[in-house]
Structure 1
């Protein structure tokens, strides 16, 4: 009996050792939940990372992409936060301005940005504001003087198009922009621009230089860029002023500029990736390391360059700090942001 028990104990010990040596992600599937429609740069980045991250994660899991558009990615974010299991197998990629919906207290928000486990972002994303060339607006000054405001498309209140429009209205009165909500994704707004449903859009800048229809639009002078939100002008649109140049020219007050900095913090989120609250520290470490290695992978970088996708990564640790920073503001700043965002 004793030899049998000893053998059983050894067998159990060996089995435990084998389990301990088996990578957590081996044989598993990770799901990327993208808060936008297929075809846009959020979707393209998720699919590119889905191809390269597996080889940099022990166990080489499969990664699949699921598009879950709605309410400027609030739907997808609520899902990752409250529905998905905290097992490191569901990752979200929301709009970068998501924090503003929480900051102003929108009732549809069911998440706390600070409790997500942030994995990283492949790029920082300033906003670019473009206008159809046949519209009677050749500059921001023209919009300020207009009796009839331009119509701009938007996917939701966390999207760059909505955020920029409200910011311009607040900091450069009497400027007005009529925002048309309800588009499921950026590609649908682009179709709306071509059809003449809307005339303009505020969008993350890299797709404007990296995909259709924007490449053809620029070549045919179908649209013109009126504003860029980075600190420096973009070399591909050297005649387009930055928002900070416009603020300086129009003598925008310092407090309004501070509000702009809060709202434009979305640039540093870029195209962020997060996991559900409760994801273990070990899983977070593995996912962050996998992202960090993938975004430096020469094959990924070559593919990104070929696809005209800019790479300027932000680490998960940086995003975790940013998620706290963007929600930590004095009451007067939050009140002003709420007013801008219509709350």
Structure 2
């Protein structure tokens, strides 16, 4: 009788040990992202190129994330995406369910000590960027400013539109003022790039600086180029973009006008924004395993033939930078000597 009871006990124990209900929680646990919704918060209006890239990611990333979550896009425009960056840093939970699509030059505001900045650029979790961002400056073709020489010699500076101090539309003209001696009247306060383009059409302003990618990606620029409505007079790449063979680079202009060593250092720091491209970040403190999942999914998207095909249809370039590279760059740009920071403060009008 005792032996029979012992055998029954061992049999019951064996069932318990190998039952799916009593397997190790690690082995039985479902993927974290299963049944979840991930939100990409974009610091621009819908239809902006930042928004177009985010929607491309939202379409293709879910299949590369274990658990296949739903991904949605939320637009939060304003202050050159500073509002979005502050939201991601301070409001969003660090749980891997909120991704920020933010402007690449927000580190300027942190470096010069603007009180509106409520984040540390170097502490975001960096997922990656789908494209690097060289920039251009266009002028209305009917304006008197045909070249940078015209801008330098003008008695009345051209009026350009901008959203905020870390938008390309602001800092590129200000960088040119510092390193080659031009003068621009930069009008602030536009909510998004599309608003500046409408202002150009209305004649409120005559110029805007922004990315080469955007200039060749959407309207109104297709129509503008066809009708020769604007002229590109400058670009930031180390060499001329094949699509802009007549626009000189900033390096050509710095050589022509004999920029100082301090000006060149400021240019190097500022142009690093182009290396950040159109970055995706998660809040500081996001678990490392979830950041790793998002980085791996991002890498698969930007190397996916399907995603590349969709990007090509939308005229969006894919020239990615990994999250690991952006993390390193973020730490580098924040660690600057006082004299370079002081020069950036002057460039951005910070006393």
Q: TM-score range by the shorter chain?
A: over 0.9
Which aligned pairs between 1:148-159 and structure 2 lie closer than 5 A? 148-159=156-167
Matched, 1:13 2:26: no
CA displacement 1:105-153 (0-9 Å, x = unmatched): 1110000011100000000001110000011100111111111111111
Which aligned pairs between 1:129-148 and structure 2 lie closer than 5 A? 129-148=137-156
Which residue of structure 2 aligns with residue 90 of structure 1? Answer: 98
Report the CA distance between 1:12 and its aligned residue: 5.1
Residues 77-86 or 203-212, more deviating: 203-212
Counterpart of 1:67 (choices 72, 75, 78) is 75
Which residue of structure 2 aligns with residue 184 of structure 1? Answer: 191
User: C-alpha separation between the residues in 1 aligned to 2:158 and 2:334?
Assistant: 31
Report the CA distance between 1:14 and its aligned residue: 3.3
Report the CA distance between 1:168 and its aligned residue: 1.0
Residues 204-213 or 274-283, more deviating: 204-213
Which residue of structure 2 aligns with residue 252 of structure 1? Answer: 259
| SS of equivalent residue, structure 1 residue 302 | helix
Q: CA 1:330–1:60 in 2, change beyond 3 Å: closer, same or farther?
A: same
Report the CA distance between 1:258 and its aligned residue: 1.2
Query: Which is greater in Rg?
Result: 2
Matched, 1:311 2:311: no
User: C-alpha separation between the residues in 2 aligned to 1:258 and 1:98?
Assistant: 18
Report the CA distance between 1:172 and its aligned residue: 2.1
Work out whether residues 180 and 253 of structure 2, in 8 Å CA contact, stay in contact via their aligned partners in 1.
no
Work out whether residues 64 and 300 of structure 2, in 8 Å CA contact, stay in contact via their aligned partners in 1.
yes
Unaligned runs of 5+ in 2: 1-7
Counterpart of 1:57 (choices 65, 68, 74) is 65
User: C-alpha separation between the residues in 1 aligned to 2:207 and 2:122?
Assistant: 33
Counterpart of 1:341 (choices 305, 325, 348) is 348
Which residue of structure 1 aligns with residue 229 of structure 2? Answer: 222
CA displacement 1:70-114 (0-9 Å, x = unmatched): 111110000000110000000001011111111111110000011
Report the CA distance between 1:13 and its aligned residue: 2.3
Matched, 1:115 2:123: yes
Counterpart of 2:274 (choices 259, 267, 280) is 267
Aligned residues: 341
User: C-alpha separation between the residues in 2 aligned to 1:288 and 1:328?
Assistant: 25
Matched, 1:240 2:247: yes
Matched, 1:323 2:330: yes
Which residue of structure 2 aligns with residue 103 of structure 1? Answer: 111
Q: CA 1:247–1:59 in 2, change beyond 3 Å: closer, same or farther?
A: same
Which residue of structure 1 aligns with residue 4 of structure 2? Answer: none
User: C-alpha separation between the residues in 2 aligned to 1:249 and 1:164?
Assistant: 18
Which residue of structure 1 aligns with residue 37 of structure 2? Answer: 29
| SS of equivalent residue, structure 2 residue 334 | coil
* Structure 1 segments of 4+ aligned residues over 2 angstroms from their partners: 5-20
Which residue of structure 1 aligns with residue 238 of structure 2? Answer: 231
Work out whether residues 131 and 318 of structure 2, in 8 Å CA contact, stay in contact via their aligned partners in 1.
yes
Report the CA distance between 1:19 and its aligned residue: 4.3
Which residue of structure 1 aligns with residue 5 of structure 2? Answer: none
| SS of equivalent residue, structure 2 residue 80 | helix
User: C-alpha separation between the residues in 2 aligned to 1:8 and 1:296?
Assistant: 45
User: C-alpha separation between the residues in 2 aligned to 1:37 and 1:158?
Assistant: 17
Taking structure 1 as the reference length, the TM-score comes to: 0.96
